[in-house]
Amino acid sequence: FDASTIERMAVHFERWLHEVAEHPERSIGQMQLISEAETKQQLEIWNRTETAYPRDPVIQELFEEQAAAQPEAVAVVDEDRQLTYGELNARANQLAHYLRKKGVKPETLVGICMERSADLIVGILGILKAGGAYVPMDPSYPQQRLTYMTHDAGIELMVTQRETSGWVPEPITRICLDSAADQEMLSQESDRNPSIATTPHNMAYLIYTSGTTGNPKGVMVEHHTLINMVFWHQQFYQVTEQDRASQIASIAFDAAVAEIWPYLSRGASLHVCKESVRTDPEALQNWVVEQQITISFMPTQMAEIMIHLPWPSHTSLRCLLTAGDMLRQSPPASLPFALINNYGPTECTVIATATEVSPLQEGIPPIGGPIANTKLYVLDPHQQPVPIGVAGELYIGGAGVTRGYLNRPELTEERFLPDPFSGESGARMYRTGDAVKYQPDGNLIYVSRIDDQVKIRGFRIELGEIEMVLSQLPAIKQAVVIVREDRPGEKQLAAYLVGEGSAQEWRTYLSERLPSYMVPTYFVQLDSLPLTPNGKIDTKSLPKIDSVLQTSASYIAPRHATERKLVQIWSSVLGMKETSIGVHDSFFDLGGHSMKIMEALAKGLTEGWHVTVKDYYDLQTIQKIAQKIDHGSKKYLHSDTSRLQFLKPPKKDIAHATYDPIGNVLLTGVTGYLGIHLLAELLDGTNSRVYCLIRGSDPRNRLLEQISFYFHDKFEKYKVMLSSRVVIVKGDLSEKQFGLSDAEYAQLDSTINSVIHSAALTKHFGNYADFEKANVTTLEELISFVGRNKRLHYMSTMSVSGHITFGEEQHVFTENDFYVQQNYEDNVYVKSKFWAEHALFQAISNGVDAAIYRVGNLTNRHSDGQHQHNIADNAFMSRFKFMLQHGVASNQFISNDIEFTPVDACSRAVVALIKADASAGENYVFHLYNHHKVGLGEVVQLLYKSGHAIELLDGAAFQDLMLRLSQDDKHIHDIQMLMAAGEQLEGDYAIVKHDSLQTQIALSKAGFYWPKIDALYMQKIVTYLQNSGYLPVNEMRSLIQHV
């Protein structure tokens, strides 16, 4: 302690003794430590921030003043174009007039989901000019999260773009600013300023932050609080019309508010940084210099990198603003611009404190003092001021305090409290949950979160939300998520769980429901969670990641060149020190997962290694993978046949099959790609009542989200059917009796006539135990349910044929084949489906009535080109994307004969066969793939017709390309999904060919024929890849440029 601190402590102790003597009846917590002078200093002197600012205008009025004063000045610039103030104002006016005709008025919430661009600014401004409040939505967020926001906010209008609007539920009216039709429609509107309908106390925007209940919460921000922040910002940074400000933050991050409005309301220009640049430090620095940016905001982690890069001494940048996480570094003395550290919760309109960080600053840089018209209180649990240098909870009062949370009155009341220190009637303060402490000079030092809400990489996260989503998994008994910082400055989320499952399962599950920044890096399975004496989870006693991940009995360093190179690759991929990786450590225990495997394989291309994804799952450690590399055989080994009872499908006993072939249907896997289309086909093509078995806490909403995603045009129709022809059964296939009570199970058993089983774990790599449980055990439970009085329609896969057989003789795999000496064990998914068929053959031989539908390569819908929700996980589409990205094709990564089985055609074929009772006879195995295969050369020609030039490469040229891309960090991710290929084999083997003639005959009798693949279908695929954001136009080197 320094002398001044010791002196203060002595004064505080003396003050406390006086309190004890004068008020012996008080509890210790009620005793005052600080003097009246120090209390006055904290509550009054340091909070004297009263500053005049305009109380009457709203934010769009300030912009309109600039547009009138300098219409030719540049307002916004993105990578494609720039708009002057006059142009921006005119376009926003046209949108505003249209929105008003659609009913937008003050307090109307209008969604905006767009990539950061000049059009984004047009959209936001147009919503405000119409009188509404904008609700920013990042298009990269999971659909489930976006859908929740739209429902919670009651959004009926969405300003968007074609490629970011695919998820928007059909009842919502979409205005696509890049659509020719919508542009023509808006051009008919007046470009004059609409009348101002809003008041300063109307909402300007609603922005969502992480929530403890598992759903984000919307913060309502009014114009007057926004105006206060804007005017402080302009004065603090001395903004003029000559400034060039950057727009880097996500639109859903409230830092974007401070990036936009202080500049557009002052006549400065706003420069939108493109996505690929904003996350690359060196590219971002070059962009800032080239664009002559004068004021820029960057999240904390990026700012800490930027201040240590070499900068030109005469750069235009004069202020670098940062916020979002604890700043740990001070700038070097040579930095040619000021570094400003900001702090502020969304609930207090972006910014509450700010200070310039001195190069001479020792320790953690401060977050500063209050901005204009803001009051800060550092209080103890009794809401009394704490001494200088002592940590307390920060409460914020003043002009920036927002209205509260949308639809959350109880939470608003809990966090927005009456301000007892303000003399103003009705004044409120916000309880931040952040621990801070005062420095003697009145600046605040950020300490930590008091509750379990954290910030990582600038994103605000409430750990309870992640825990809640994890807890929805029936196999999870307990879950706690914490932030680990075992290495200084490296915050990572770690989930500790009690229950069944694997890290890969949990990571996939969360990735489908939460933004990527909320998915933990580590998943640790424990027998029990440590508890404190009072029964609470003792997070301090949870094991450190290093102790959990170092699973080997003792650390052994790499011993030869192959092991050393593998350690280098793992270190790079996993972000770990090389000295932390021993040769016996498991890749998965170190935080690895399937995409990390792909990256590791790509980085190993330069070594000429023959390593596969399967090798990583089978071998897992440095030692074993290195042994495979140095000594492993590439010869094909025979599969184990000791358990096989059937080489061909057994004959079917159909004497008892006298019931309705469809009737009441139990459908599994309805939220999957094929399952949701089977539901649509059953609803459109039959009169059946469909019972949908869905797991999770809110199965109805899960189903509605999938219907909304896949069937915009029919959403209302199908939604009505959920009350008439669709019965949702909340259950879990992996549990006995589907997790239903005896009465529920008996009722379902007496109601159902047939079962369509399309649920499956369809990834092609992972731990076999997971696949066996998901694909074999669940089928056995369904077989028990079907018994002798129902028919089971099982969705299998053509992949059970394997792709090679042992020996030189080529084999044609027909509907009457099962085991033909194929390599079914090479792929965990294929292996599980093979044994599932085997289990079903056993049941059929014992009298169960069943049919098997071996489904081919499911591709985009034939009607409109739409593909599955998680398209990035589809290996075939990854290869198709690669062709378009790099303008090349090769039979090294895609077949010479390509099968396209559109999912809507496949679902029609399944239902057609069921309706025709095609499985009632001896033939009950069907090969459901489009036999109109297309040669690779023909695909290239079809793509050329749709405007894409693809070069066919031979094996050597392709391998050379792969090698070059693997050495380029900017393109290594392009090739990762190509790494999923199997082992390169030597020895005698033959390729398996498929035959579906028997099925084609049955389909023709049912009136179904597979569609031919033509240029129009190819164009639909390409268009969907573009519009979904999976393959942006600017990434397609194949695109033919027309002059």
- What pLDDT, on a 0 to 100 scale, did the predictor assign at position 1002? 95
Given 405, 427, 449, the domain boundary residue is 449
pLDDT over 80 (residue 360): no
Measured distance CA(207)–CA(98) in Å, rounded: 23
Q: How confident is the model at residue 534 (pLDDT cuts 50, 70, 90)?
A: very low
- Considering the domain architecture, whether residues 460 and 443 belong to the same structural domain is answered as no
601-652 pLDDT, tens digit each:
878 877 878 788 888 888 889 999 999 888 875 544 556 677 888 889 998 8
Which residue, among 588, 571, 589, has the nearest Cα to 580 in the 3D structure? 571
Whether residues 888 and 760 fall in one domain: yes
Domain with residue 518: its CATH number is 3.30.300.30
> Which residue type, as a one-letter code, is found at position 304?
E
**Boundary residue ending a domain (497, 525, 553):** 525
Annotate 896-914 with DSSP letters as a single string: SEE--EEHHHHHHHHHHHH
> What is the tally of structural domains in the chain?
5
Query: Is there a domain that residue 461 lies in?
Result: yes
Q: Does residue 104 belong to any structural domain of this protein?
A: no
Higher pLDDT among residues 922 and 487, named by residue: 922
The pLDDT confidence band at residue 140, using thresholds 50, 70 and 90, is confident
* Count of residues making up the chain: 1043
SS (H, E, C) 577-604: CHHHCCCCCECCCCCCCHHHHHHHHHHC
Does residue 479 carry a pLDDT above 50?
A: yes
Asked, for residue 28, whether it belongs to a domain, the answer is: yes
pLDDT tens digit sequence for 67-97: 999 999 999 999 999 999 999 999 999 999 9
At 431, which CATH number?
2.30.38.10
pLDDT in tens, 685-705: 999 999 999 987 678 878 888
| Residue 918 is assigned to a structural domain of this protein | yes
Q: Residues 437, 468: one domain?
A: no
pLDDT band at 985 (very low <50, low <70, confident <90, very high): very low
Structural domain containing residue 426: 370-449
Query: Looking at the domain assignment, is residue 328 inside a domain?
Result: no
- Residue of 925, 920, 681, 660 whose CA lies nearest to 790: 660
Q: Is residue 695 part of a domain?
A: no
The bridge status of strand 217-222 relative to strand 133-136 is unpaired
DSSP per-residue codes, 281-341: HHHHHHHHHHTT-SEEEEEHHHHHHHTTS---TT-S--EEEEESS----PPPTT-SSEEEE
- CATH number of the CATH domain containing 571: 1.10.1200.10
| CATH number of the CATH domain containing 759 | 3.40.50.720
pLDDT digits (tens, 9 = 90+) for 315-327: 999 999 999 877 8
**What CA–CA distance (Å, rounded) separates 368 from 445?**
8
- Based on the fold, state whether residues 490 and 408 are members of the same structural domain: no
The pLDDT, as a whole number, for residue 38 is: 86
Same domain? 509 vs 568: no
**pLDDT at residue 986 in the model:** 47
- State whether 502 and 624 are in the same domain: no
Residue 452 has pLDDT above 80, yes or no: no
pTM of the predicted model over 0.85: no
Mean pLDDT of 518-543: 76
Q: Where among 525, 546, 574 does a domain terminate?
A: 525
Do 951 and 882 contact (CB within 8 A), yes or no?
no
Specify whether 491 is located in the same domain as 506.
yes
Q: Between the ranges 58-62, 585-589, 982-986, where is the mean pLDDT highest?
A: 58-62
987 and 920 within one domain:
yes
Same domain (yes/no): 441, 495: no
The answer to whether residues 968 and 902 belong to one domain is yes
Does 186 reside within a domain? no
Is there a domain that residue 654 lies in? no
Give the relative orientation of helices 255-264 and 59-69 as an angle to the nearest 10 degrees: 40
825 and 946 in a single domain? The answer is: yes
Q: Does 1017 lie in the same domain as 891?
A: yes
Give me the phi and psi of 56, to 5 degrees please.
-95, -40
Average pLDDT over the chain reads: 87
CB neighbourhood size of 650 (10 A): 15
Instruction: Say how many C-beta atoms besides its own lie within 10 A of residue 812's C-beta.
Output: 11
